[in-house]
Amino acid sequence: MKAAIKKMIQQQNKEREAFLKPWATKSENALRLFKMDEDIRSSFFHDIDRMIHDLSYTRYQDKTQVFSGQENDHISHRMTHVQLVSKIARTIGRCLSLNEDLIEAIALGHDIGHTPLGHAGEAMLNQICKEELGCSFSHNVEGVRYYMEIANHGRGLNLSLQVLDGILMHNGEMLHPIYEKEEKTKEEFLRQVQAGNKEVQSIKNCHPMTLEGCVVRISDIIGYVGRDIEDAIEIGRFQRDELPKQITDVLGDTNQKIVNTIICDIIEQSFHLPYIKMSQKVYEALFALKKFNTEHIYCHAMTKEQYNTYEQGMRKLYQIYLKDIEEENKESIIYTLFLKEQDEIYFQKTEAKRMVIDFIAGMTDDFFLNQIKHLK
């Protein structure tokens, strides 16, 4: 492309962000660990392209959202969830004049560190990590690790720190009435990554460095809380009229109504503010709905027998793959499907036990289930 045209497009990109609120994040302020040459794409838009062209994005389509092993094509998978979160967050961001490119990048990448079998698989891998490595495992920290140290053959994608921070801080299990950003340096972000890898509880109460990250954090909850109800009704876990009336009177009784109510409330409450908030009425109803979902959906997403079977299988796979690395069994699938693609930099920075964790964490449900099916 001619230099003059490239320069004009870059100027157009800058002008397009001129209408954003003063507290929005401008693309020109993107931070990276390594310098990256500019092209016709603004910085966060470039991050989106790098993420969706990475093969990890494709694996979203066969990773559990809540219900594993359902013979029903209408049940949500992780791919559906991240796209719903992206749309919800961009709707809020557009109305509040925030940076939609940054919002989309965080939303599409926020669950990339999720294991097979959803949060159940995450709990299994967390226990193995504590026993084997003396650290915790969480999908948000693993997502940042993936994009920094595993993707691109171990060289990372060099995403902006604002995107990585949004992934690290998305924490969709914790609900707050107000979401405020916290200023961070590059060094402070890296310290939080290190602290989260050691013990994820240490960053539970930290905040994103951008308001766009705050939007994705609440949008994560909006994206799953109503959709999980629809999935539960679809497979017969309960009926719609069993939803508590004190909740449905405020939020509605369908995913469409729930999403619309919360989005509109957030926009109205946050319109002229440098933070994100909900009305007390909507916050309390959403809190109650999350509690209802926990008691009637998440605590029963998998039977105890299923959990024990899958956990035993994951532990056996861990030991098998670790032995294969220690014995340099190049015929093992951890070599043929994973390690052979990694550059020397990955091997220099990663111990064998961590390699196994990275491999298992990246598996889809079908791949994992197929592997444990053949265990003796």
Q: Could you please report the per-residue DSSP string of 241-272? A: GGS-HHHHHHH-SSHHHHHHHHHHHHHHHHTT
Amino acid at 63: K
Contacts of 5 (CB under 8 A, 6+ apart): none
- In this prediction, residue 192 has a pLDDT band, given cuts at 50, 70 and 90, of very high
Question: What would the pLDDT profile of 29-49 be if each residue is shown by its tens digit?
Answer: 999 999 887 788 889 999 999
- In this prediction, residue 66 has a pLDDT band, given cuts at 50, 70 and 90, of low
pLDDT at 376 over 80: no
pLDDT of amino acid 22: 96
> What structural domains and CATH numbers belong to the chain?
45-299 (1.10.3210.10), 304-373 (no CATH)
Single pTM value for the model? 0.95
pLDDT at 64 over 90: no
pLDDT at 60 over 80: yes
Q: How many CB atoms lie within 10 A of CB 361?
A: 23
Residue with tokens 């939007």: 215
- In this prediction, residue 1 has a pLDDT band, given cuts at 50, 70 and 90, of confident
